[in-house]
Amino acid sequence: MKKTAFLFPGQGSQSVGMGEEFYREYDVVREIFDMTEEISRVNISKLCFKGPMEDLTMTVNLQPAVTAVNLACLAAIAKENVEFHYCAGHSLGEYSALSAAGVHSKEDAGRLVFKRGELMHREATRNPGAMHAIVGLPMDAVAELVSEVQKDGIVSVANHNTELQIVITGAPRSVEKVSSLAVEKGAKSVPLKVSGAWHSELIKGAEEEFKAFLDITSFSAPQKSILFNVTADPSEDPGEIKEIMGRQLCSPVRWYDTINKLMDENVEVFVEVGPGRVLAGLLKKILPGDYPAKVYNVANMKQLEKFLKES
């Protein structure tokens, strides 16, 4: 059987209507939505299926909503007994990957992301921030600009998404400054529609409280190999995994390194399990033209059927 990796998207992959087909089709999916609504006290199914997008995008709603849809897509695939060998999730998506790997239950995934969303929203309200995608410069060049501007204000790398797509995060003025320096060097800068400076020091106030919440959550050793955002490496130890997830909130997402690791493992099938095509888009930029891999999205019945037929 071909080596397969399941990849779970995070914030930025949402759209109105996500998850609705699977919700109509599968009892297990309806159970996931009911469970998420009970935990969050938010009408997640209505938000996912009808919007409005503005409410869906608020981080307190979005984190449980995207996680519910990721887990719904995973449940639809699991119905067909499809095997996978590796998994990873982009930022918020990492909690869906932990669930897929058997580290924690679906319920705990829901509880963790709801708490995470609440804390991140609180810190973003206290410390407004910005995020920009810098396109066209390698990591070391962006890191150099960031450390230059860091002397005067809070700014850091949030995501290393592809070789030449790096997201920066921090105080609006500092983020603008790094952006303009990057543009001078020939890069493109794209402001992101986000409600906070994720993966930055500006949300550091959430870290201790979130770590305490992780501590009271039951983690098991993974049954599948899961690669982590913070390290771009796997870990088998539940205690170490909790520690990594505690750091994840304010650390860069090493997505480019993660995909390169999966290529080193000769993964041939990549499946984006969840809404949107963000991760599939990044894969197209990362995978070399001659690398023998198939990339699938599974977010609706048609995509699921295509994946099952071809895999």
Catalytic residue numbers? 91, 199
b/e code 215-225 from CB counts within 10 Å (16+ = b): eebebeebebb
Q: Look at phi and psi of residue 191 and say left if phi exceeds 0, alpha if psi is from -120 to 50, else beta.
A: beta
CB 19 within 8 A of CB 99: no
Residue listed under structure tokens 């209507």:
17
Both tokens of 269, joined, read 């099938």
3-state secondary structure of 86: strand
CB neighbours of 197 closer than 8 A, spacing ≥ 6?
A: 124, 127, 128, 129, 130, 131, 154, 158, 169, 170, 171, 175, 203
Cα 249 to Cα 118: distance, rounded to the nearest angstrom: 13
Count Cβ atoms below 10 Å from residue 83 Cβ, excluding itself: 9
Count Cβ atoms below 10 Å from residue 231 Cβ, excluding itself: 17
Cα 40 to Cα 12: distance, rounded to the nearest angstrom: 20
Cis omega (within 30 of 0) for bond into 52: yes
